[in-house]
Each structure stands twice: as C-alpha cells, then as structure tokens.
C-alpha cells in the first residue's frame, strides 16, 4: 500500500479518542485530525466558519454538517490526507458526514474504525476532571489527577492549561445525548461494512494503546512490527 493508513476513531466524548490518536499518530507517522480542535481554532481565529460554529459549540451541540465539511475539505487539501492517510478524531459524527467522507475517499475507502467503548459514568467523571492545553496547535490533555509538572502550564509547549468551556456537567450531558442519537448509529454501519474494531477503553492510555494496536495487528490492518 503506497498511501498512508486511513483510520477513524469513534467513541463517546471522554472515551480517549484524542489521547489514542496522539499516540497512534506518532507510532504510524500519519496525521491526527481532530475536527473539534480544527473548529476551536477557527473560532479563535474568528474565521467565517468559526463565527458560525461558535453558537453551537458554546452550548455543546453538534455543528451543522455543512460547516464541518467545509473544515474537513480544507484539512484534506492542506494535509494531503488522500496520500498521507489520516486518523480522524471526532469525525464523522453523523450518517450524512460518513456518506460525504466515503465520497471523498472513494474508491478505496477507510482501513478500519476503532470504537472506544467505555461506560457513561466513567466518561462524565473523566470529562469533568479534564484540563487541556489552550494552544490549539498543541492540545495536550491533562486532568486533575494527572496535571502538568509545573502548575497548569503545558509540559509540551508552555501555554496555560485550563478547563474546556463545554466540559461542564450540563454540556457534557448534552454532548453525550447527541452522541447516542447521531453518532452511535455509525457503529452498526461500520460493523456491517466489516471495518469495526471494538476496543475496551476503561484502562490507562498505555493499556488502550496496546489493546487497539493488538487488534489492528490481529486483523492484518497493520504489520506486526511497525517500521516507525
């Protein structure tokens, strides 16, 4: 295969998508694309899409498909994703987005979809204690129980670390309700297509990384010993 690996990581908010994608991106050398990070960066830069998306994000609602696809189209071009491959984190989140992604990457499609499975009470606890680097280029993830070394200054880039505006209990519950209604149906779609890889995500980041990698190897989606 000359093109890069094409992976999607789906799962509830707080299931650890961003953390797994960061490790996989380093391990496989393919771009980690978070539509949430891209949207937050558009909001910070006050682009046209960012200004429209903000009102939805502020209340923890999904941004309309049309706006998300404008960002995704730009990301495909800017990062040469068709050739380099990708790890999509938080995209697609609706059946319509999944259809549009299929059209963008036809005829080969995606290689696998990792579904991070974790109980709702665990993710509510994780999200309410989550703290993130405010630098959109970095986005490192910390928590009350795993803070940066120097108080609330990012270990990686030196920017302030704080709580995301939508990580309050009310907005977390709104986001989880949207997940069940709009995103969870994608699981059966990818299962039917033979692409779904279920991974139990209640352990530590290292444990989840090993489980997910082991599953990709077992299905011959990646070779046993990676060259990177």
Q: Are 114 and 20 in contact (CB under 8 A)?
A: yes
CA 102, 9, 30, 5 torsion-angle sign: negative
Q: How far is CA 97 from CA 90, 147, 164, 216, 217, in A?
A: 11, 35, 25, 24, 28
Catalytic-role residue among 3, 164, 189, 198: 164
- DSSP strand E in 71-216: where? 86-89, 112-117, 130-133, 141-143, 161-162, 196-200
Q: Residue 140 binds what, of ligand ADP, Zn ion, none (CB under 5 to 8 Å, by partner type)? A: Zn ion
Among 141, 153, 157, 184, binds Zn ion (CB under 5 A): 157
Q: Give, as ranges, the residues between 78 and 107 that touch Zn ion (CB under 5 A).
A: none
Please tell me the count of residues contacting ligand ADP according to CB under 6 A: 19
Q: How far apart are CA 4 and CA 112, in angstroms?
A: 12
Catalytic-role residue among 40, 126, 175, 195: 175
Q: How far apart are CA 41 and CA 56, in angstroms?
A: 15
By the rule CB under 6 A, 93 interacts with ligand ADP: yes
Residue of 195, 49, 218 whose CA lies nearest to 109:
195
By the rule CB under 6 A, 56 interacts with ligand ADP: yes
Q: Residue 90 binds what, of Zn ion, ligand ADP, none (CB under 5 to 8 Å, by partner type)? A: ligand ADP
Q: How far apart are CA 133 and CA 157, in angstroms?
A: 8
Known catalytic residue at 149 = no
By the rule CB under 6 A, 60 interacts with ligand ADP: yes
Known catalytic residue at 93 = yes
Known catalytic residue at 175 = yes
Question: Closest-CB residue for ligand ADP?
Answer: 36
Q: Are 112 and 214 in contact (CB under 8 A)?
A: no
Q: Residue 39 binds what, of ligand ADP, Zn ion, none (CB under 5 to 8 Å, by partner type)? A: ligand ADP
Among 68, 98, 201, 213, binds ligand ADP (CB under 6 A): 68
Q: Residue 123 binds what, of ligand ADP, Zn ion, none (CB under 5 to 8 Å, by partner type)? A: none
Q: Are 203 and 211 in contact (CB under 8 A)?
A: yes
Known catalytic residue at 17 = yes
The CB density around residue 58, as the number of other CB atoms within 10 Å, is 12
By the rule CB under 6 A, 19 interacts with ligand ADP: no
Residues that bind Zn ion (CB under 5 A): 133, 135, 138, 140, 154, 156-157, 159
* Binding residues for ligand ADP (CB under 6 A): 13, 34-36, 39, 56-57, 60-63, 68, 90-93, 97, 166, 175
Show which residues are catalytic: 17, 93, 130, 164, 175
């Amino acid at each position: 295969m000359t093109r890069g690996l094409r992976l999607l990581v789906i799962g509830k908010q707080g299931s650890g998508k961003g953390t797994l994608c960061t490790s996989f991106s380093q391990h496989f050398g393919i771009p980690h694309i978070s539509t949430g990070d891209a949207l937050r960066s558009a909001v910070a830069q006050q682009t046209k899409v960012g200004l429209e998306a903000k009102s939805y994000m502020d209340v923890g609602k999904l941004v309309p498909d049309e706006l998300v696809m404008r960002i995704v189209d730009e990301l495909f071009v800017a990062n040469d994703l068709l050739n380099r491959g990708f790890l999509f984190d938080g995209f697609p989140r609706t059946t319509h987005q999944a259809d549009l992604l299929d059209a963008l990457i036809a005829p080969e499609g995606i290689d696998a979809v990792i579904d991070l499975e974790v109980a709702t009470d665990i993710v509510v606890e994780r999200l309410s204690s989550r703290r993130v680097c405010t630098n959109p280029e970095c986005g490192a993830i910390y928590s009350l129980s795993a803070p940066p070394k120097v108080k609330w200054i990012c270990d990686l880039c030196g920017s302030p670390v704080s709580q995301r505006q939508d990580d309050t209990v009310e907005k977390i519950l709104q986001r989880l309700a949207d997940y069940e209604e709009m995103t969870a149906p994608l699981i059966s779609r990818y299962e039917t297509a033979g692409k779904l890889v279920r991974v139990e995500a209640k352990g530590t980041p290292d444990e989840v990384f090993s489980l997910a990698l082991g599953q990709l190897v077992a299905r011959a989606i990646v070779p046993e010993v990676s060259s990177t």
